[in-house]
Structure 1
Amino acid sequence: MNAQVKNAGLSSELLGLRSVLIGSLPATLMTNDAPDRYTVEAVFTRKTDRDEVAAIQGNETRARLSAKGYSTVELHVADRRLEIANTNLEELRDGLGSVIAELLAEISASLQAEREVAADRFQDASDREQARAADVAALAESVTFTRRPAADVVDDESRIEDWVEEGGAVRA
């Protein structure tokens, strides 16, 4: 048995954000008609996996944003973009961007650690199974199906007869 854990497509690089997607911003920014809050899209440094997406969009992330003072901000993953709703560029520049970057790095590191523990456990189980299978095979190979020589059988009977003749047993 040669078992390996494959993390196909999973990067060891911590997840981060590269830049704001300018084309996604409201056209009215820096005018009198500009909204106070809007959705800002940022480009991830790499493709996210489903566990990362679940964590980013999960309740724990929402609670951590609230604890940092960003209770109205919502995060949503759309392909290789992070949609940051109910915010603005100034808020992102003044601290929210750093909070999000830290959250993403922590999520990535935590998931990588969990995967490494799972891979180690799987490898240990695989090694134990290989050792067990080898032990079973060795035990099975030690079994022989050969007849004892006829002389051994006769020899046993003569020893029993000698023992009986010497008074080792009472015959009826």
Structure 2
Amino acid sequence: METQTRTSGADTATLGLGSVLVGSLPAALMTDEAPDRYTVEAVFTRRPRPDEIAAILSGRTRDTLAEAGYPTVELAISDRRLEIANTNLEELRDGLGGVLADRLSEISADVRAREEAASVRFQEAAVGEQHRAAAVAALAESVSFRPAATPRPVSGSAPGVRSDALDDRARIDDWTDEGGHAR
């Protein structure tokens, strides 16, 4: 049985953030009209998978941000971008970026561990199924459609002569005909 698993390439790499999309930043940054907080879009290092997206948007991630001192930060995902709302570049630079990187790394490790455990369970089930199929085949091969070895009268035998004695005599005659008898 062959199975395909992803063991190389970008899909197995730890999910992270590569860079900020400068074009998505407010145009008024570093001016007197610059907002204190805004949405910063960061590009993922690869496309997040559905289970990773669910973990990023989970209550566990919100709790992690709150515990780290960022209770008002909100996350959203749009294609290959993480939208980090209610923050600013300074906050990201001074700690929030590291908190997000750590959480994404933790999510990747958890997802990878679950996938590896599922893969092991699948392979164990496949091996078990192969053993079961082999046992069924062996059992089927053990079925014999030969006559039973129970004594029964042979038609035309002399009265009082047991059929197993006749079987023994037939085997001796076969052996004699094969040249195993010394004359």
Q: Please report the TM-score for the alignment, with normalisation by the length of structure 2.
A: 0.79
Residue aligning to 2:33: 33
Residue aligning to 2:65: 65
What is the CA distance between 1:153 and its match in structure 2?
Answer: 2.1
In 2, the alpha carbon distance for the partners of 1:79 and 1:109 equals: 21
What is the CA distance between 1:35 and its match in structure 2?
Answer: 0.5
Identity over aligned pairs, percent: 58
Residue aligning to 2:24: 24
Q: Quick one: which amino acid aligns to residue 136 of structure 1?
A: V
Unaligned 5+ segments in structure 1 are 160-172
- Per-residue CA deviations over 1:114-171 (Å, capped at 9, x if unaligned) read 1101110111011011101110111001101122489x4238x956xxxxxxxxxxxx
Give yes or no for contact 1:41–1:83 (8 Å, CA) kept in 2: yes
Judging changes above 3 Å, is the alpha-carbon distance between structure 1 residues 49 and 13 closer, same or farther for their aligned structure 2 residues? same
Partner SS for 1:11: helix
Residue aligning to 1:74: 74
Q: Quick one: which amino acid aligns to residue 140 of structure 1?
A: A
What is the CA distance between 1:3 and its match in structure 2?
Answer: 5.3
Residue aligning to 2:140: 140
Number of aligned positions between the proteins: 157
User: Which structure exhibits the higher relative contact order, with contacts defined as CA atoms closer than 8 Å and separated by 6 or more residues?
Assistant: 1
Give yes or no for contact 2:6–2:12 (8 Å, CA) kept in 1: no
Residue aligning to 1:162: none
Residue aligning to 1:154: 153
Give yes or no for contact 2:10–2:46 (8 Å, CA) kept in 1: no
- Per-residue CA deviations over 1:4-57 (Å, capped at 9, x if unaligned) read 264599822100010000000001101111110000000000011000000001
CA RMSD of aligned residues (A): 2.3
Partner SS for 2:84: strand
Q: Quick one: which amino acid aligns to residue 52 of structure 2?
A: E
- Per-residue CA deviations over 1:78-108 (Å, capped at 9, x if unaligned) read 1000000000000000000011001000000
Give yes or no for contact 1:4–1:123 (8 Å, CA) kept in 2: no
1:4 aligns with 2:3: yes
In 1, the alpha carbon distance for the partners of 2:85 and 2:66 equals: 14
Give yes or no for contact 1:74–1:85 (8 Å, CA) kept in 2: yes
In 2, the alpha carbon distance for the partners of 1:97 and 1:74 equals: 13
Partner SS for 2:43: strand
Greater gyration radius: 2
Q: Quick one: which amino acid aligns to residue 101 of structure 2?
A: A
Unaligned 5+ segments in structure 2 are 155-159, 163-183
